[in-house]
Amino acid sequence: MITAERKPMQEIIDYVSPFNRILLVGCNECVTVCAAGGRKEVGLLASALQMSFMQRGKALDIQEITLERQCDPEYVEQLVNYVDRYDAVLSMACGCGVQEVARRYKTKPVFPALNTKFMGASEHQGIWAERCQGCGDCVLGVTGGICPIARCSKRIMNGPCGGSTKGKCEINPDIECAWQLIWDRLKMLGLEDRYEEIMEAKDWRTSRDGGPRRIVREDLAS
Ligand code: SF4
Ligand code: SF4
């Protein structure tokens, strides 16, 4: 999933303080799962903003709405009956959702209430960790299902580096060395021969380094 965290309250207040009527829009997908921008967080932020405006003697008309997916035009269209009644939109989606709302409602100011972080997974209750950087040419099949791009601090494709110590990364001892994890797992699976193969230089053009990417499915495009 895409993970996110709420921005500092003061930054959000600075965005919306010039306005009196705010449409606050959450998203029911990834940001709900990582407890950043779902229905519950929309309610909490709306209350906090009401309180902040009240303390400054300002009236705030805030409408809460949570879409199924804010990165999907079909659901973004559901705002059409609301947008005109509000001065600005405050989005609690990831950056994709914020941009979709801004793309659809071109004349309306749209502000992000979240900082989008990374593609990750839940390690434990309340802890999410980065797992994928969307390189566009997945190597998990030869690295034992552990991503060296997202999980090795140096993105080394043939590791570990000389700084790996007792299974920990030299960049941050709280991080497990990805290449230690890769080796341990390949060994456990009896696939050590995969580790012996030197990976060729990766073609980063399939990643974000090659510029903004698109997927075009001719069979689905109309
Ligand atoms: S190899 Fe690429 S696609 Fe696969 S998990 Fe890592 S970053 Fe993501
Ligand atoms: S110690 Fe391991 S995870 Fe850290 S940079 Fe070196 S190879 Fe990568």
Report how far ligand 2's centroid is from the alpha carbon of 150 (Å). 11
Q: Which pLDDT score, from 0 to 100, does residue 85 have?
A: 98
pLDDT tens, position by position, for the chain (222 residues)? 999 999 999 999 999 999 999 999 999 999 999 999 999 999 999 999 999 999 999 999 999 999 999 999 999 999 999 999 999 999 999 999 999 999 999 999 999 999 999 999 999 999 999 999 999 999 999 999 999 999 999 999 999 999 999 999 999 999 999 999 999 999 999 999 999 999 999 999 999 999 999 999 999 997
The per-residue pLDDT for range 100-126, each reduced to its tens digit, is 999 999 999 999 999 999 999 999 999
- 61 in ligand 2 pocket by Cβ < 6 Å? no
Alpha carbon nearest to ligand 2 atom 4, residue: 169
pLDDT for the residue 222: 75
pLDDT digits (tens, 9 = 90+) for 140-172: 999 999 999 999 999 999 999 999 999 999 999
116 C-beta closer than 6 A to ligand 2: no
HEC letters along the chain:
CEEEEECCHHHHHHHHCCCCEEEEEEECCHHHHCCCCCHHHHHHHHHHHHHHHHHCCCCCEEEEEEECCCCCHHHHHHHHHHHCCCCEEEECCCHHHHHHHHHHCCCCCEEECEEEEEEEEEEECCEEEEEECCCCCCCHHHCCCCCHHHHCCCCCCCCCCCCCECCECCCCCCCECHHHHHHHHHHHCCCHHHHHCCCCCCCHHHCHHHCCCCCCCCCCCC
In the reported structure, the alpha carbon of residue 172 is separated from the centroid of ligand 1 by a whole-number distance in angstroms of 21
Q: Which ligand is nearest to the CA of 121?
A: 1
Give the distance (Å) from ligand 2 centre to CA of residue 196: 18
Q: Is 46 in the pocket of ligand 1 (CB under 6 A)?
A: no
Q: Is the CB of 164 under 6 A from ligand 2?
A: yes
Taken in order of first residue, the domains within the chain and their CATH numbers are 2-118 (3.40.50.2300), 133-210 (no CATH)
